[in-house]
Amino acid sequence: MSLKDLQAIIDSGTKLTPMMDQYFQIKKNYPDTLLLFRMGDFYEVFFEDAKTAARLLNITLTHRGKIGDTPIPMAGIPHHAASVYIDRITNRGLKVAICEQIEDPKDAVGIVKRGVTQVVSPGMPFDLEKTQGHDHRYMASAFKKDNCYYLVALDFTTGDFNGYKHENFESFIEGLRMLAPREFVTFMGQWDGDEGKDVESILNHYDVLKTHLSEEYFNPKFTDLYIEKVIPGFKRDKIIKLDELILNPIGALAYYVCSTQLLESFIHIRPFKMNSQANIMKVTLPTLVGLEILPKSRESYKDSLLGFFDKTETAMGARYLRSLFANPLFNQDSISERLDIISALTDDDSLIKDLRVELSKIRDIERILAKISMSKGSASDLLNLATAVNAYTEILKNVKNLPIKAVLAPAEIKKLSVLAESIKATLNDEVGASLEKGNLIKEGVDKSRDRLAKLHLNVAEELMKMETRLKDETGIQKLRIKSNNVSGFFIEISKGSATKVPKSFERRQTLVNAERYTTPELVQLEKETITAQTKLEKLEREIFKGLINNVSDLNHSVLTMSEHIAFIDSFQGLASIALSEGFTRPKFHSDKQILNIKQGFHPLIKSLIKDQFVCHDLNLDEKTYFGLITGPNMAGKTTVMREVAIIQLLAQIGSFVPAKSADLSLCDFLFSRLGASDDILKGQSTFMVEMAETAEILRHASSKSLIILDEVGRGTSTYDGLSIAWGLVEHFIEQTKALTLFATHYHELIEVVENYSTAKNLTVETVNHNGNVQFLYRLIEKPASQSFGIYVAKLAGLPASVLKRSEEILHLLEKNHHNPMEGHQLTVKAVKDNQNTQLCFLDDIVIDAEIPAHLLHLEEEISKLDVMKMTPIDALLKLNDLKKHLELQ
């Protein structure tokens, strides 16, 4: 039953129960969410929501009551396990509204008051503990005006808040892809025609949850109240004043956040930062994914280069490292500053060790602050924060002599330390300490709390003490303090001692042999005891709240500290990897075009195969800036190209690079087209994506760029592909004049390149020993002589019949090769006619099926040998064995 149907039933005069009426009134305001309605220890879901929840969560669908004659579908989830269920629903792209009881049921007159306290969505998870540390979860919003695209992104879980202005649609789309937001706030009709389709396909591709607001929310006149909440004092912000249109998407996003998170303030949201593209080397998302720097999907982080480089100890550091990779610098001074830090760190590896020890103590401060902001901060969060502050002060001592800028004034650091001390001095860090047990606050912090705690825990002892004192004071040895459920606490004195009872005792009850009295002191003790537990809990909560407020007051310092930790952590990480993998400091030349790498290597492959990796030397400069790499399949062409791009990118991040030496120029744009990427944008074919990306390179590349192209034109017919590749080579050499590496299997291009003095042929060395190709992987300044494609196909296990036939066809094709026109006329008939003629271009290649079994056995035996572990005698004996085995055949 939909909300509309329900409304119709109500309009027709059917009465709802008060509880259902309350549900309906609340649900009306949250039509596009799944509403969890708190009922005691359960969250209950009704009507259509119940069916959806039952299906998504695999829970029972039952009924609660009826509306008219129709039973109301209901499903329930226990409150204590809610986070698991809620995350499962939001991971499916739905929003969940959490409706709580907002008054104590004991105080309720009639039905308990309820209200929605939080809307959980992919960008605003319920349980921050479970969100991936190294990843951002952005919510984005955008606004277009006069061909300018204003994009804002807020990570509500860490407080990261950024704005971007893009001057054209292409750059805006690139920005959006780079952010990979979880949610996008927009209004209908904002994008027209093709732009709409592109935005839509990106959002669909990344499974982004869209929220449509009406257009007025994109007008800051109507949203300034909300903006003020996320950017306090925004009207005085000079950067925002420079381009006030950024307020349009900020307003919409601010409204969205404020309407879904019912909080007084958002202490964890960082000051809004407008990002400029000026000092950034541009690098596109396909480049980063093609280089395997950024993971293809969120799950494969560990296998990506970013995962490999991530030697950070904190979640903030890991997130910052990612932003370093996505925003390499185009400013030599800033790069040098970073390189200086890494140099200083690599000079002193014990310093790195010390830093890592301290950093490892630090938890995700940004998410702690987000939890505090959402009133979900726990005592252990505060204790973790205190530990982080203490570790930070140690870190500051460690980095004192490094060229790292201070970000907090000593007075601010002092305040943080005082806060940390008071947290440590106040909160009990023993396991089992909790507000409910009344032992969260340490003894000695607050006198009233201690008295209450004592009363609560030691009522008997208190009474005993009072009894002894009263006995002494009155001289009545049989005086007893007792209690029961009816009369509470009382002093019981036998009738015989009645004369000694002081006047201050008030008679309560007369029994046969005894009288019962009370005193103001006892009344007080009783009252305190009975209410001690509630009072204790309340007082402890107040003290805890006080600490939370102290943290909130220092939120800016905490955020700045966290940013500084992220910075230091990511640089110690870069220094660690530089040391462990043998990287060097790159040298930049501002006055010339240069890419001179000695003994460069691909960091990930080298770390896997160690010394078996063959390092590369490469030299391009302003005289010869174009390198055409030809060479057989599997020879290592793509690896060299990836390696070069990685070296340039790392250098412009301000990191050391995988090489013995690297002389580089500052590049404005790094383009690389490696591998097929039809999955990046749905709805475009592999070849279409390849051409679109190549077109983008041609539009944006300048002589200051670095261009890495792998087998462009491969995805279409041979002659089309060759023509495109040929045209591109000429264009890059004659027009673009950027440092370029172009790998291809079109050997026709070797001759093209030979005609230019500014270009050279390169190949990755291979040798052919009697049909067995050996890959040497060395990069040399020579053109390739052969392709060995069929040989590689054989290695890969293609059946012998196919291999044989391929060789025949290849031979025919090669015969026609020198005259392209003839090549065109090579018909299927001609190829058919030549079937079964023995035309082996690689005569020496023996097809698997023809290798006799005993030779295969021999091959297997030899390949099993670990020669390095054999003595000469072992070797001779083994050789003898093998020989005997052969003789037996």
Ligand X SMILES: Nc1ncnc2c1ncn2[C@@H]1O[C@H](COP(=O)(O)OP(=O)(O)OP(=O)(O)O)[C@@H](O)[C@H]1O
Stretch that binds ligand X, among 381-389, 547-555, 611-619, 840-848 (CB under 6 A): 611-619
Which residue, 277 or 619, is less far from ligand X as judged by CB?
619
Residue 432's Cβ-count burial label (10 Å; 0-12, 13-18, 19+) is exposed
- CA–CA gap between residue 648 and residue 355 (Å, rounded): 28
User: Is the separation of the CB atoms in 304 and 691 below 8 Å?
Assistant: no
**Single residue of 637, 673, 794, 804 touching ligand X by CB under 6 A:** 637
Kindly identify the residues of this chain, within the stretch 576-605, that bind ligand X according to CB under 6 A: 605
Pick from Mg ion, ligand X, none: which does 633 bind, CB < 5 to 8 A by kind?
A: ligand X
Kindly identify the residues of this chain, within the stretch 777-806, that bind ligand X according to CB under 6 A: 777
Which residue, 636 or 654, is less far from ligand X as judged by CB?
636
Partnered with residue 166 across adjacent β-strands are: 149
Kindly state whether residue 304 participates in binding ligand X, applying the rule CB under 6 A. no
Kindly state whether residue 639 participates in binding ligand X, applying the rule CB under 6 A. yes
- CA–CA gap between residue 372 and residue 366 (Å, rounded): 10
Question: 49 Cβ partners below 8 Å, 6+ apart?
Answer: 34, 35
CB of 287 to ligand X, least distance (A): 17
Q: What angle do helix axes 332-346 and 637-653 make, rounded to 10 degrees?
A: 100
Kindly state whether residue 635 participates in binding ligand X, applying the rule CB under 6 A. yes
Q: Which residues bind Mg ion (CB under 5 A)?
A: 638
Show the 3-state SS of 778-844: EEECCCCCCCCHHHHHHHCCCCHHHHHHHHHHHHHHHHHCCCHHHHHHCCHHHHHHCCCCCCCCCCC
Which residue, 376 or 714, is less far from ligand X as judged by CB?
714
Pick from Mg ion, ligand X, none: which does 634 bind, CB < 5 to 8 A by kind?
A: ligand X
Which residue, 454 or 747, is less far from ligand X as judged by CB?
747
- CA–CA gap between residue 133 and residue 312 (Å, rounded): 11
CB of 675 to Mg ion, least distance (A): 8
CB of 759 to ligand X, least distance (A): 20
Partnered with residue 39 across adjacent β-strands are: 42
**Single residue of 633, 684, 686, 816 touching ligand X by CB under 6 A:** 633
CA trace torsion 815, 820, 825, 827 (10° rounding): 50
CB of 633 to ligand X, least distance (A): 3
Tokens read off for 344: 């200083």
Which residue, 220 or 658, is less far from ligand X as judged by CB?
658
User: Is the separation of the CB atoms in 232 and 254 below 8 Å?
Assistant: no
Partnered with residue 148 across adjacent β-strands are: 145
**Single residue of 257, 491, 634, 653 touching ligand X by CB under 6 A:** 634
Kindly state whether residue 736 participates in binding ligand X, applying the rule CB under 6 A. no
Which residue, 314 or 638, is less far from Mg ion as judged by CB?
638
Cβ-closest position to ligand X: 636
Kindly state whether residue 636 participates in binding ligand X, applying the rule CB under 6 A. yes
CA 717 to chain centre: 40
- CA–CA gap between residue 693 and residue 821 (Å, rounded): 31
CB of 707 to Mg ion, least distance (A): 16
Which residue, 27 or 606, is less far from ligand X as judged by CB?
606
Which residue, 287 or 639, is less far from ligand X as judged by CB?
639
Stretch that binds ligand X, among 171-179, 437-445, 634-642, 848-856 (CB under 6 A): 634-642
Q: Which of 428, 464, 457, 432 is nearest to 443 (CA)?
A: 428
Cβ-closest position to Mg ion: 638
Kindly state whether residue 638 participates in binding ligand X, applying the rule CB under 6 A. yes
Kindly identify the residues of this chain, within the stretch 121-180, that bind ligand X according to CB under 6 A: none
Rg (CA), the chain: 37
What is the phi-psi region of residue 363: left when phi exceeds 0, alpha when psi lies from -120 to 50, beta otherwise?
beta
Pick from ligand X, Mg ion, none: which does 863 bind, CB < 5 to 8 A by kind?
A: none
- CA–CA gap between residue 438 and residue 426 (Å, rounded): 13
Pick from Mg ion, ligand X, none: which does 639 bind, CB < 5 to 8 A by kind?
A: ligand X
Partnered with residue 184 across adjacent β-strands are: 140, 210
Stretch that binds ligand X, among 258-266, 268-276, 278-286, 627-635 (CB under 6 A): 627-635
Which residue, 284 or 638, is less far from Mg ion as judged by CB?
638
Binding site residues, ligand X, CB under 6 A:
605, 612-614, 631, 633-639, 777
